[in-house]
Amino acid sequence: MCAGAAIALAIGLGASVGPAAAQKPDRPWSEDVLYFVLLDRFADGDPDNNMDVDLKNPGGFQGGDIDGLIGRLDDLADLGITAIWMNPVMLNIPGSVNSGRDFEHFAHHGYWAEDFSRMDPRFGTEEDLKRLVDEAHKRGIKILLDIVYNHAGYGSAYTRLPNARDILRMEERGTCGPEGDDIIGCVAGLPDFKTEKPEVARWLIEKQIPLAKEAGVDGYRLDTVKHVLPEFWELHRKIIDERLGDDFFLLAEYFGADLNVVDPFFEKGVWDAALDFTFKGETESWVLGRGRTIAYSRYLQKRHKVRPGYIMAHYLSSHDVPMALAEVGGDVAKFRLMAALQMASLGLPQIYYGEEVARPGHDWPENRTPMPWGKMDILPGKGMERDESLRDFYKRIIAARKANPAFAHGDYKELSTEGDLLVFQRAHADSGNTVIVAANRGDKDATATVALPAAWSGKTVTDAITGKAVGKAGAELALTVPGLTAQYLVAN
């Protein structure tokens, strides 16, 4: 009996919930704005599924679930979100592990699987997931489901199977590879699947398809891809195309990677996109005054070397890195500048839940604090202060990005890099759309005179963020940009 068959007999598949919804947004992923949600930290819509909830434990469950996310879809649509990535929802290990700190760490994040084929009731049911997808699609929002192939949860049922040695490397049995080996090492001591074995690889891929297929999700976010051999991803693409369709989107997390690291995978077509681990650090550094403006401009320009047809997803914060607002000393003006640069840059911009309302928190576990809901009667973040003016700013920069194809598809042209002021042009020939972006990291006004597109001649130049006119277009335009401010200049 192969390893996959043995596991299937031991654990079994989850129950079927009926056919997937037919209606799916057909917008290119390059035009989307992605919102990453840790379900447990977002909104508690069904108190009846609250297990192990302890609001005082930063590593414990807080009660958020799929039902809570469904209830806030209108908020996200109003913000301008067009795609949601949520953490894994399969059944996770039931207990806690030692965090190395003064609290116990539960699988509230969803990455410690107990059984890949069943939903974790603390997040919801198969019917809830299907309902989420259907309701999101009604609002033009896509759903990405996070998937883990590399490892199971600490002490999960898979480690107790009769053939566990054949399918897993485990620290307690001394079968993990050397520390630092991306493929045969055990990440954070987690049981590591022997994905190099074809029968294990195929079983892992097939095991998680029914839930995605029946719910009708639009794609996967692929966890810990650097810890799995490239041959796995070739087989994965083949099976996914056959079972879920060749338009099923695959966003890979190759931790620490830039576009050069993931390009060989793009060349083989095994993923459609990858997380860009460079944008956060480069943008924070520039906004904090570290390094020359021309160096940051050349970095933004190099991001356009991504292979045509593929996407780098750029973020400012996530559950694995410190929150960007805290990294800039809690200075909301500096964070606004970073957000404006994110929405003005090539790629798939990813917002981490709550950063649009200045969610507090820094490094782990504080980067996983509850979503602030202010006076709204929503747990677990009821009563937590939110910055509505920052949310309004996000609405405006997202709306500007969606209204101007140059942001998603345009080239990059450097216009000015003197001092603290960066001015660049994004132009999209097919649509004829051009936007000039000006960003001032300094505290005082900064000025520059820049050349304008000939097609703008005689038109009023307006800042698409504020809606205010900044002048009449001639061959050139003299700009004055206030301190810690960004402008998206368009011709009306």
CATH code, domain with 416: 2.60.40.1180
Cβ-based burial of 265 (10 A; exposed 0-12, middle 13-18, buried ≥19): buried
Residue 77: count of CB within 10 angstroms of its CB: 15
DSSP type of residue 382: B
Residues 6+ apart with CB under 8 A from 355: 316, 317, 323, 324, 325, 335
Assess whether 306 and 350 both reside in one domain.
Answer: yes
* DSSP H or E stretch at residue 378: none
More confident residue, 4 or 345: 345
Residues 6+ apart with CB under 8 A from 155: 93, 95
Whether the predicted pLDDT of 31 surpasses 80: yes
The radius of gyration of the chain from alpha carbons, rounded to an integer in Å, stands at 23
Domain ends where: 385, 403, 421? Answer: 403
Assess whether 25 and 41 both reside in one domain.
Answer: yes
Assess whether 388 and 455 both reside in one domain.
Answer: no
pLDDT at 142: 98
Question: With bands split at pLDDT 50, 70 and 90, how would you rate the model's confidence at 492?
Answer: confident
Helix 293-302 / helix 279-287 crossing angle, nearest 10 deg: 160
For residue 52, give Cα distances in angstroms to 62, 200, 322, 369. Answer: 8, 32, 26, 17
Assess whether 359 and 478 both reside in one domain.
Answer: no
Assess whether 393 and 418 both reside in one domain.
Answer: no
Two tokens at 363? 């490094």
Question: With bands split at pLDDT 50, 70 and 90, how would you rate the model's confidence at 15?
Answer: very low
Assess whether 235 and 218 both reside in one domain.
Answer: yes
Residues 6+ apart with CB under 8 A from 371: 41, 42, 43, 64, 353, 354, 359, 378, 380, 381, 384
What's the distance, CA 111 to chain centroid?
Answer: 15
Whether the predicted pLDDT of 18 surpasses 60: no
Assess whether 135 and 50 both reside in one domain.
Answer: yes
Assess whether 19 and 127 both reside in one domain.
Answer: yes
Assess whether 185 and 248 both reside in one domain.
Answer: yes
pLDDT at 6: 40
Residues 6+ apart with CB under 8 A from 18: 130, 214
* Amino acid making up residue 63: G
The mean predicted confidence, pLDDT, of the chain is 94
pLDDT at 9: 36
Question: What are the tens digits of pLDDT across the range 256-314?
Answer: 999 999 999 999 999 999 999 999 999 999 999 999 999 999 999 999 999 999 999 99
- Name beta bridge partners: 97: 105
Question: What are the tens digits of pLDDT across the range 425-457?
Answer: 999 999 999 999 999 999 999 999 999 999 999
pLDDT at 23: 79
Assess whether 424 and 345 both reside in one domain.
Answer: no
Asked if 183 and 196 count as a contact pair (C-beta separation under 8 A), the reply is yes
- Tell me the C-alpha distance between 69 and 21, whole Å: 19
Residues 6+ apart with CB under 8 A from 263: 306, 307
Nearest to 281, CA basis, from 312, 252, 309, 314 = 314
Whether the predicted pLDDT of 176 surpasses 90: yes
Residue 146's CATH number: 3.20.20.80
Question: What are the tens digits of pLDDT across the range 215-234?
Answer: 999 999 999 999 999 999 99
State residue 249 phi and psi, 5-degree precision. Answer: -85, 135
- Name beta bridge partners: 318: 321
Q: Structural domain tally of the chain?
A: 2
Whether the predicted pLDDT of 19 surpasses 50: no
Question: With bands split at pLDDT 50, 70 and 90, how would you rate the model's confidence at 12?
Answer: very low
Assess whether 445 and 393 both reside in one domain.
Answer: no
Assess whether 391 and 432 both reside in one domain.
Answer: no
Domain ends where: 348, 382, 403? Answer: 403
Domain ends where: 403, 433, 452? Answer: 403
State residue 471 phi and psi, 5-degree precision. Answer: 155, 175
Two tokens at 205? 């891929």
Task: Quote the domain boundaries for residue 130.
Answer: 3-403
- Tell me the C-alpha distance between 176 and 330, whole Å: 41
Question: With bands split at pLDDT 50, 70 and 90, how would you rate the model's confidence at 160?
Answer: very high
Predicted TM-score (pTM) of the model is: 0.94
